[in-house]
Chain A
């Protein structure tokens, strides 16, 4: 497809379970971002990749969160030992050029809705 694709769209995990969320960015896009959006809140930055390099992971809330983009295309966000406070929508976004700058439109996917029970 032409847009950012995320899977699964919905995931229910038992507390303590590991989950993996996949993002297929728009083909050829250099930048890839992960955001966490709690219910009724704005997205919060988690991590940023420029091609395969993870240049910024300052937003990852704990060492249970891990992201990778090994070939500079598909990315996976992994959450280990999930907890109830991890329940949120995880948004992936990509853009054709590096960073968040004027003229570098960022395209969001529809998100992966994670519920931890």
Chain B
């Protein structure tokens, strides 16, 4: 059962552009929504996270927008750089259980 749906599957952005990745979840019991960045051959690394009582969180070039009523959240990467090229996973968590989206492969062209 896919509890977290992520789109797009892949994304190509020019350097300096904005990358936007969207996720939707089903279970309203989720109470923590992290985003992970994964480079080839490496494990996922926490990028930024949000709780459902906040509608937006910004850390540097990365922003999460959260819409609790729509059960949707998104990652915005401003001024995208070639070094941002990686696979990004959204996740939704409650207790010990964390469910991941299928991932978005981002390519930032120089």
A residues with a Cβ closer than 8 A to B are: 4, 31, 33, 40-45, 48, 55-56, 91, 93, 98-102, 105-111
Contacts and interface: CB of A to CB of B under 8 A. Distances in A.
* Interface of A: prevailing SS: loop
A89 to B, nearest CB: 9
B97 interface: yes
A42 B100 contact: yes
Contact of B43 (A91, A99, A101): A91
Contacts, number: 62
B44 A91 contact: yes
Given A55-B96, A100-B97, A108-B36, 15 more contacts: A31-B96, A41-B102, A42-B89, A42-B100, A43-B44, A45-B98, A100-B93, A100-B95, A101-B32, A102-B49, A102-B51, A106-B98, A108-B43, A108-B44, A110-B41
B12 interface: no
Interface string B37-55: 0000111111001010000
Nearest to B36: A108
Binding site secondary structure of chain B: strand
Interface residues of B, number: 27
Q: Which 8 A-B pairs have the closest CB atoms?
A: A108-B43, A42-B100, A100-B93, A48-B96, A100-B98, A56-B96, A42-B89, A102-B32
B96 A99 contact: yes
10 contacts: A31-B96, A33-B96, A42-B91, A44-B100, A45-B99, A91-B44, A100-B97, A102-B49, A108-B36, A108-B43
